[in-house]
Amino acid sequence: MKSSEAKISINYRFLEAAELGNKPTLQEFLDYHDGERRLNVNCLDSMGRTALEIAVDNENMEVVELLLQQPDIRIGNALLCAIREGVYRLVEVLVNHPNITKEMLGEGWTQALDPSEAASAEYSSDISPVILAAQLNQFEILQMLIRKDAKIDPPHNHTCICETCDRERLNDSLQYSLKRINTYRALASPAYMSLTSSDPINEAFKLSWALQRLAFEEHEFKETYLQLSEQCKQYSCDLLSQCRSSEEVIAILNKENDNNDNIDLWASKLSLARLKLAIKYEQKAFVSHPHCQQLLTSIWYEGIPYRQQSGTWASFFLYAFLLAFWPVFCLLYILMPRSRLGKLVRSPFMKFFYYSISFATFLGLLTWATFEDYRYEKGERGGVTRASDRGPPATWVESLVFTWVIGMLWSEIKQLWEEGFKRYMRQWWNWLDFLMICLYLCTISIRLSAYYIFTYREDPYRYTVRTHWQSEEPMLVAEALFAVGNVFSFARIIYLFQTNPYLGPLQISLGCMLVDVAKFCFIFVLIISSFSIGLAQLYWYYDPNTDVCVPGSTCRSSTNVFSSIADSYLTLLWSLFSITKPEDTDVIENHKITQWVGQGMFIMYHCTSIIVLLNMLIAMMSHSFQIINDHADLEWKFHRTKLWMAHFDEGSSLPPPFNIIITPKSLINFVNCLLNTVRWLLGKYTYQKNRNRATIRVSLVWKDDGQHKKAFQRPGYSRKRNEMEKSGGQDDDSGKAPLTYASIIQRLVARFIHQTKKEMKMDGVNEDDLHEIKQDISSLRYELRDDRRREIVRSSSHIDAVKRDIMRTMSTNSRARVYGGSMRLSKTRPSVAEESEEEDKSDETSSTDEEADETRFFLKSRKSSVLYTPPVNSTLPGIISEEAPVRKHPKRRASEADSKLPDRPLSETFSSSFAVRTLYSNFLKIENIFQPKLLPVFAQPPHSALRKTDTSMSFPINGTSLEASIVKPPRGVLRASQENLSTVELMETLRKEMNEKFDRLISGMVEVKSPASQSHVEFSVDK
């Protein structure tokens, strides 16, 4: 039990040291071993983190390197923590560790994790290092992992029934879905698309569309998939925002879906294939981007003279002139399609302008047809009139209408052929055009059939008053279809509102509201059906055509409006508009229960339909309008671009009805088509598949004339070829590399990465940053504390060496001076420097051992005098001794003792000994710095007590000279008496000389404050 508790305590202290960044303590723990048992470096804290994870979380590089040196270290989730922190150096050190393989960076990460650690880890086991780096947009780290062959495999289809997907669904469906979401998060990250895809914009389009479809397939995670889809859309917009010139924008929007990215930008026509792809995938933010709209505006108004330089009135007169002469311009284009006037008619704006004029003329003809003279021939007037003709011929207004219908039909057929069936059906306005044209074609066919039946067959009943016509009369059916066609025709003009910034958002809101009405109708049909069936079941007996005779009253006919299901439907429908009456639920019979139930159901229907359903419809339409209004500019620009793109493509230059005229250009194209067909049958021609037509037949070439830039056009030539033709076939930029899509997309990606990193650096300081600073300060504190401890040990060892050297020197010099001779030191005795070096080598021992050595030295010093020990045969008594001297010999006079001293001055005799004692005393004062725990005065060694109580050796402290303090000397200190008077006089003389020399040494002494705020002095010795 005690061993387990000790083990837990050691683990706790080890993890705490890792948390605090205490590297010295960590090193001691790592070096600790109890026999064969060593510390478990993979132990976990209460949060399931190892010491390596804690160090990585604190971004302590030194501790991480120390832990990675252990042979049994497990990296595990520490690598994910390093990726989360975004420290490249940490991730690099962990990835380069032998325990991490290339497979572990990707799909092999789950199998490499320890199940016990994965359960409590911060990230789930399906999040590999490359997935996490992609999710967090760590560009440098992700690039390093990709270079090590780490990759992310896209998930299988949602409906995949392969063995792997089936097994994962059966094991844990939630884990399977979360794994797919985590993978899509990585695939949708800007960092991963930027570093792995050669065409990141196309990749973002496709992934956004796939995620948007998944949002409606996996409804449980709809919001998550929609957020990832919006992230991809925003990434494509961010790349487009990095464009700095029109050339780069053209290269982005003109990129086709082939895999060749090294084609020169000006070597192909402007097809805007990438913009069409963006419209297909509903990338509204990309299409509405200012860079994209600026280019589209320049193309839209290409060739319009004096548009930007002219004012409002000048533009008005210009458009009035084009409006007045539009038939002339169309006829001239038929005759001269490649002339300057033909280029003007072929421009996108002119095609739209003349198409609008043509459609407005068609609506004018429809309006004129309602005011023809024959429509006033009404009533029962007999005779041969057009109103009574069952097969009348068409009037000239109707002939023009039919001509316009044929022209619009041909225009729709060409559009269907050029765009393809799928693209054509994705546009809702094409459905309206299709219905409108179908209604007119049915009208024309029925009118022709009636004319053929009643005119060429000479039917005698051709002219009959309409009162006697049957309901299935061809003319009546044709007029009904024509009337519905007129409604669709006038509704079709709303399509043109998209070009206006004020009417465009309203038109878009109207379309969304129609969708809401369709949803409402589905619910309303269920409600009205339930009440219609119920009321029909209740009132089925009461026939409105039968008189009811009640006793005591006259017979009356019942006004039952719920006798059948059809009547119930109509009654309930018109009741929404308050056309019905409350008495419709009454019956003539005295059937009160039936009447009360009928009234209750009728009231409940009105409450449900009017109060609930109609208000719900109003709320739905208000919500749709608010959504469009909040993004009015984006929605309007997107729908306007769709309208513009219909007029950008080559062909369909003439509006109806001029497009049905066979032009010389059409004849030439038809002949070429026949020749190509013959060549294809002979095997000498191959049709090109998926060929993108040019948007306009001109290349955008800008030429600076010194004042402003002008645009000029050359059909079918690129900018490079135009410059080569003008330069006589020589290329001025032959030394430069061609401008390709690959080079431009590399520029945009590099700019995007720099901008993203700059924004990340400019983020404010958060709590995590403050914690890292605190951790760095803590680590620095422990490092400084460890350095100070080492310095203390080194200084203490040096002082101890100096003490021992002084003791030897003092003892030797004393003997030499007393006996008048000299004593040589042993050659083998180490010097102070040598001893200091030996002590420096032992600095790796613990501070506890050093303190034990100092204590032993202190106890040893108490057993014998360390200041001065007289020789054996000396007549001088011991100045300092542990016990009082024992007199073994008879008393001797001072004169006798002095006679045996050498014949030289007393100061000369004791000068060397005094200098040594003074130096040793000052070193003892230095020692007090490293020994803050001082003993009491009388508990210290006797020589120390003598030094502090001797008044003649006092010196100023803090600028104040201490006075002599009368303190009873401890036992063993020399006392003044008559029998040792001569010795006392000798010591008095020695004291004076010592004070004089000590005053000269004061200049080398400085005052220092001890930890206990006590003053003491030390030598100002240089380091």
> What is the C-alpha separation between 165 and 176, in angstroms, rounded?
8
The CA-based angle 893-894-900, given to 5 degrees, is: 105
Rounded CA-CA distance 978/983 in Å is 10
- Number of domains forming the structure of the chain: 4
The answer to which of 303-312, 489-498, 637-646, 796-805 has the lowest mean pLDDT is 303-312
pLDDT in tens, 882-931: 344 444 444 444 344 444 444 444 344 434 444 444 444 544 444 444 34
Judgement on whether residues 471 and 553 belong to the same structural domain of the protein:
no
User: So what's the pLDDT on residue 3?
Assistant: 63
Give the whole-angstrom CA distance, residue 779 versus residue 23. 8
User: 819 by DSSP, 3-state: which?
Assistant: coil
864, 949: one domain: yes
Phi, psi angle pair for 789, to nearest 5°: -60, -40
| Beta carbons of 62 and 20 less than 8 angstroms apart | no
Which of these, 228, 246, 256, 255, lies nearest to 290 by C-alpha position? Answer: 246
Reported confidence tier of residue 38, pLDDT bands at 50, 70, 90: confident
In a domain, 909, yes or no: yes
Q: 660-702, pLDDT tens digit by residue?
A: 888 887 888 888 888 888 888 888 777 665 545 555 544 444 4
Name the band, by pLDDT with cuts 50, 70 and 90, for residue 191. very high
Run of H or E including 710: strand 709-712
Within a domain: 239: no
Return phi, psi of residue 701, to 5°. -120, 120
The predicted model gives 466-495 an average pLDDT of 89
Interval 783-801 mean pLDDT: 75
Q: What is the pLDDT of residue 400?
A: 93
Q: What average pLDDT does this structure show over 78-90?
A: 90
* Per-residue pLDDT, 120: 67
To 10 degrees, the CA torsion angle through 322, 323, 327, 331?
Answer: 20
Cis peptide before 871 (omega within 30 of 0): no
Contact 511, 624 (CB under 8 A): no
SS3 156: coil
Q: Is the pLDDT of residue 397 over 80?
A: yes
Task: Compute the average pLDDT of residues 850-862.
Answer: 42
Closest CA to 940 of 952, 951, 928: 928
Collapsing DSSP states into helix, strand and coil, what is residue 547? strand
List of long-range contacts for 392-396, beta carbons under 8 Å, 24+ apart: 392/451, 392/475, 393/451, 393/455, 394/447, 395/369
Average model confidence (pLDDT) across the chain: 75
Is residue 740 pLDDT above 50, yes or no? yes
pLDDT attached to residue 289:
94
Instruction: Kindly state the average pLDDT of the residues 402-430.
Output: 88
Q: Region 210-216: what's the mean pLDDT?
A: 93
Element (H, E) at 336: none
φ, ψ of residue 1017 to 5 degrees: the values are -125, 160
Residue 34 — φ and ψ, nearest 5°? -110, 90
- Pair 578, 531 in one domain: yes
Q: What span, in angstroms and rounded, lies between the C-alpha atoms of 745 and 747?
A: 5
Domain end call among 204, 226, 248 = 226
Residue whose C-alpha is closest to residue 319's, from 267, 287, 357: 357
CB-based burial, 137-156: b 16+ in 10 Å, e otherwise: bbbebbbbbbebebebeebe
DSSP calls for 40-77: -TT---TTS--HHHHHHHTT-HHHHHHHHTSTT---TT
pLDDT digits (tens, 9 = 90+) for 582-630: 877 877 777 888 889 988 999 999 899 888 988 999 999 999 889 888 8
Dist CA 984 CA 978 (whole Å): 9
Residue holding tokens 């040598």? 834
* pLDDT score recorded for residue 383: 64
Q: Helices (H), strands (E): how many in the chain? A: 42, 8
From residue 937, alpha-carbon distances to 276, 538, 930, 981, 1007 in Å are: 99, 120, 18, 28, 21
Q: With respect to residue 355, please indicate whether it lies within any of the assigned structural domains.
A: yes
| Same domain (yes/no): 580, 657 | no
DSSP H helical segments within 577-704, as ranges?
592-606, 615-630, 632-648, 664-681
**From the CA atom positions of the chain, what is the Rg in Å?**
53
pLDDT at 423: 82
CA distance 5 to 584: 91
Question: Stretch 423-448: mean pLDDT, rounded?
Answer: 90
| Rounded Cα gap, residues 952 and 869, in angstroms | 22
Which among 635, 649, 591, 694 has a CA at the least distance from the CA of 254? 694
Closest CA to 910 of 865, 955, 973, 868: 868
Rounded Cα distance, 566 and 571, in Å: 9
Q: What are the structure tokens assigned to 103, written together?
A: 């497979």
Q: Which pair of tokens denotes residue 958? A: 């803090």
Does the residue 732 lie in any domain?
Answer: no
Q: Which amino acid is at 330?
A: C
Count of C-beta atoms within a 10 Å radius of residue 729: 7
> For position 1020, what pLDDT does the model report?
40
Q: Are residue 563 and residue 430 in the same domain, yes or no?
A: no
The alpha-helical segments, DSSP class H, found in 690-733 are 719-726
Residues 51, 12: Cα–Cα separation, whole Å: 10
Q: Which residues contact 658 (CB under 8 A, 6 or more apart)?
A: 327, 330, 331, 334, 407
Q: How far apart are CA 660 and CA 658, in angstroms?
A: 5
Any domain includes 378: yes
DSSP character string of 349-399: HHHHHHHHHHHHHHHHHHHHHTT-GGGG--SS--SS-STTBSSPPPPHHHH
The mean pLDDT value for 531-539 works out to 90
- Give tens-digit pLDDT for 39-51: 888 888 888 888 8
The stretch 81-103 carries a mean pLDDT of 89
| pTM: predicted TM-score of the whole model, two decimal places | 0.69
Same domain, 92 and 195: yes
Asked whether residue 434 is domain-assigned, the answer is yes
Q: For position 482, what pLDDT does the model report?
A: 93
Q: Which residue bears the tokens 């040893």?
A: 860
Whether 40 and 138 share a structural domain: yes
Q: State pLDDT tens for residues 241-295.
A: 999 988 899 989 988 876 666 777 766 677 888 999 999 999 999 999 999 999 9
Is the same domain home to 528 and 472?
no
Q: Report percent pLDDT > 70 for the chain.
A: 68
Question: Domain of 598: which CATH number?
Answer: 1.10.287
Reduced to 3 states, what is the DSSP secondary structure of residue 34?
strand
Instruction: Say how many CA atoms lie within 13 Å of 631 toward its Cβ.
Output: 13
Q: Which of 194, 226, 258 is the last residue of a domain?
A: 226
State the pLDDT at residue 147: 92
Residue 450 lies in a domain: yes
Query: Cα torsion for 273, 277, 280, 286, to the nearest 10°?
Result: -110
- What is d(CA 692, CA 773) in angstroms, rounded to the nearest whole number? 59
In this structure, what CATH number is given to the domain that contains residue 187?
A: 1.25.40.20
Check if the beta carbon of residue 1020 is closer than 8 Å to that of residue 1004.
Answer: yes
Domain-terminating residue out of 610, 642, 661 = 661
Give the DSSP per-residue string, 735-787: TSPP-BHHHHHHHHHHHHHHHHHHHHHTSPP-HHHHHHHHHHHHHHHHHHHHH
- 212-238 CB burial, b ≥16 within 10 A, e <16: bebbeeeeebeebbeebbebbbebbbb
Q: At residue 146, does pLDDT exceed 60?
A: yes
Distances from the Cα of 705 to the Cα of 307, 708, 712, angstroms: 18, 6, 12
| 734, part of any domain | no
The more confident residue out of 988 and 1018 is 988
Structural element, H or E, at residue 1016: strand 1015-1019
Percentage of the chain exceeding pLDDT 90: 22
| Domain co-membership, 578 together with 456 | no
Whether residues 520 and 484 share a domain: the answer is: no
Helix (H, G, I), strand (E, B) or coil at 542: coil
Mutual orientation of helices 222-241 and 290-300 as an angle, nearest 10°? 60
Verify that 481 and 581 share a domain, yes or no: no
Query: pLDDT tens digits, residue range 553-575?
Result: 667 666 778 888 888 899 898 88
Domain of 1002 in residue numbering reads as 772-887+894-1019
- Taking the C-alpha atoms of residue 133 and residue 142, their distance in angstroms, rounded to an integer, is 5
Beta bridge partners of 702: 711
pLDDT confidence bin for 579, thresholds 50/70/90: confident
Same domain for 546 and 454, yes or no, is no
